[in-house]
Structure formats: C-alpha cells, structure tokens
Amino acid sequence: MGLPVGWSATVLVAVILINIVLVAILILRPGLTATRAGKILAFLSLFLLPVLAGWAGVSEHVERSKTMAFCLSCHVMEDYGKSLYVDDRSHVPAVHFQNNLLPRDRACFTCHTDYTLYGGLNSKLRGLRHVYVQYLGTVPQQVKLYRPYHNRECLHCHNGARSFEESPTHNQNPEVMASIRSNQLSCLGCHDTVHNVENLGKATFWSAGSKRR
Amino acid sequence: MTQPRIERQLRVSGVLVLTGLLLEWITLLWSHPTAFLVFLLVGGSLIAAGTVFYLYSLVADTRSAPLPQGNRAP
C-alpha cells in the first residue's frame, strides 16, 4: 500500500498500544478504581489517552491524505499516476513531476489543493460520495473536474517566478498578466496538455535512470 | 451496592474504548480513504461512546452515593 511511516506515526501507534494495555487492565480488574491510583488510571485510559490518540490519529490520516500513495490507492486514479511518467515535455504534470518542480510524494495535492477534504463543504461531501461510488456505484469512464481549474493552483508556485514574470508571451499585452492573476484567462488555455489519460496507450514513458534519445 | 454497578459501567466503557482503539490501530496500517473513514466514523464513535459513558458513570455514581449524616434536610 506504500504506507508512509514517520516518527509521528510510530509515536501514535505506541500511545494506542499503551492505551489498549491500560484499558485491558481496567476491564479485567475494575475494582482497582476503588483506590486513588486506580481512579487516575481510569481517567487516563478512558478519557485522556483515547482523546489524545483520536486527535493525533485524525492528524496523521489527514497528513497521509496529502500523499500520492493515498490518491493512487483508488483504482480509478491509476492512469493519472501513470501520466506523470509520460516522456513528453509538453505534458504539464509530467514535466513538473519528473523535474522535481513539486514534492513527488505530494504531487497530486500540490496542484489540486481544494479537492474533496481540502475544499469547502461541498467538496468534502463529494469526497464521501467518491468513496461510495468507488465501492457501491459505477465509476464513470471519464473523470472530470467539477469546475474549471483555478489559476491559483499554478500561481501559488509560479507567481513571482522569473520565468513566469518575464515570459514574452505573458508580457505581450499588459492585460494578459492581469487576466491570468484574476483567473479570467486560464493557464490551461495555452498550457493545455495535462493528464491526457485517453492517449496513454500511445505514449512513451520515462523511468529514473533512463536517458532521453 | 454502588461499587459493582460502577465496575460494570467501567467494563462497558472499557470495552467500547478498547474496540475503538483496536480499530484505530488497524486503520493506521493503510493509507486509503476507507481507512480514514473507518478511523473517524467507526473508531471515533466507539471511543467517544466509551469516553462519554465513563464520564456519565462518574456523575451517576456521585448522584447515587448516600449523603453524609450531617447534611440531611430537617
């Protein structure tokens, strides 16, 4: 499953296991709570530690939801993950991924920052619906964005970058930059080769260590 | 007798919390939307239920304990 295990996950699992042991002691010997120490044990194991474990667990799962492994864990996303390895310099996501222009383990989230969990209430509800459709519904043949891709997703990195600010195409007309920044002119209007999963069958793929011919 | 009653209540809340914790531990073995949802909705609900029941058992035990002699109403 490509599970990312950091120190925080290790600490969390340790807290949960300690909590399990303490609760098991209480279940087997509830009479311990007649003493002061037993009452403190009960408070720790039935209130403090479970709340701490729950809060830390949610935090850990939220962090994992930003990883590429999480996104690609659903079958429907497999081709989108493959598209990041397309050997074609015009493919926007592939160029960013292969040249480490974004963190590879969070490639999806870096460009889709308002998807499901990370969007508003409607996006979160859609995320729940996606899980429902994945297991109980019919996954559509073609996956589409619910609304046009927002330039904010490009500008949070490119804004202020020399290549963007000094591009002759962006500066040919003073209104072009203003239109890009106000999202009236979409970046994808010109940089329009994105995942292109319908043409993956004809594509060649890059693998680390191979050289371009 | 109040002591056995609170012990039963502690056992019930302990079982709920233990089941929730076991579920949470298992969900941490995967990085998947389903694992997240099971953690939150099932594990979280069990732990919340166990914790709330434990807190209720404390309050219920205080209420059912007999008052000391000097505090009786005239």
pLDDT at A2: 43
Q: Which of A16-25, A137-146, B14-23, B60-69 has the lowest mean pLDDT?
A: B60-69
Q: What is the pTM of this model?
A: 0.82
A3-7, A52-56, B62-66: which is most confident: A52-56
Question: In sequence order, what DSSP letters do the residues of A1-47 get, joined into one string?
Answer: ------HHHHHHHHHHHHHHHHHHHHHH-GGGGGSHHHHHHHHIIII
Per-residue pLDDT band for A162 (boundaries 50, 70, 90) equals very high
| Chain B: residue whose CA lies nearest to A60 | B28
pLDDT at B65: 56
Q: What is the pLDDT of residues A175-210, one digit of tens each?
A: 999 999 999 999 999 999 999 999 999 999 998 776
Does A213 have pLDDT greater than 90?
Answer: no
Nearest to B5 by CA among A153, A167, A31: A31
CA dist list (Å): A27 to A30, B15, B47: 6, 7, 15
Cα–Cα distance measured from residue A24 to residue B14, given in angstroms and rounded to the nearest whole number: 7
Instruction: Tell which wins on pLDDT, A125 or A106.
Output: A106
Cα–Cα distance measured from residue A115 to residue A123, given in angstroms and rounded to the nearest whole number: 6
Cα–Cα distance measured from residue A182 to residue A178, given in angstroms and rounded to the nearest whole number: 6
As beta bridge partners, residue A209 has none
pLDDT at A210: 63
- How far apart are the CA of B47 and the nearest CA of chain A, in angstroms? 7
Residues 11-70 (B) with a CB less than 8 A from some CB of A = 11, 13-15, 17-18, 20-22, 24-25, 27-37, 39-40, 43-44, 47-48, 50-51, 54-55
Per-residue pLDDT band for A141 (boundaries 50, 70, 90) equals confident
Does B13 have pLDDT greater than 90?
Answer: yes
Residue B67 sits at φ, ψ, to 5 deg, of -75, 150
Does A211 have pLDDT greater than 70?
Answer: no
As beta bridge partners, residue B63 has none
Across the A:B interface, residue pairs with CB atoms under 8 Å apart total 118
Q: What is the pLDDT of residues B23-67, one digit of tens each?
A: 999 999 988 999 999 999 999 999 999 999 999 998 886 665 555
Cα–Cα distance measured from residue B54 to residue B16, given in angstroms and rounded to the nearest whole number: 10
Residue A90 sits at φ, ψ, to 5 deg, of -85, -10
pLDDT at B67: 55
Mean of pLDDT values over A144-167: 93
Give residue for tokens 């072009």: A176
pLDDT at A134: 86
Does B71 have pLDDT greater than 70?
Answer: no
- How far apart are the CA of B48 and the nearest CA of chain A, in angstroms? 8
Q: What is the pLDDT of residues A93-118, one digit of tens each?
A: 999 999 999 999 999 999 998 887 78
pLDDT at A5: 60
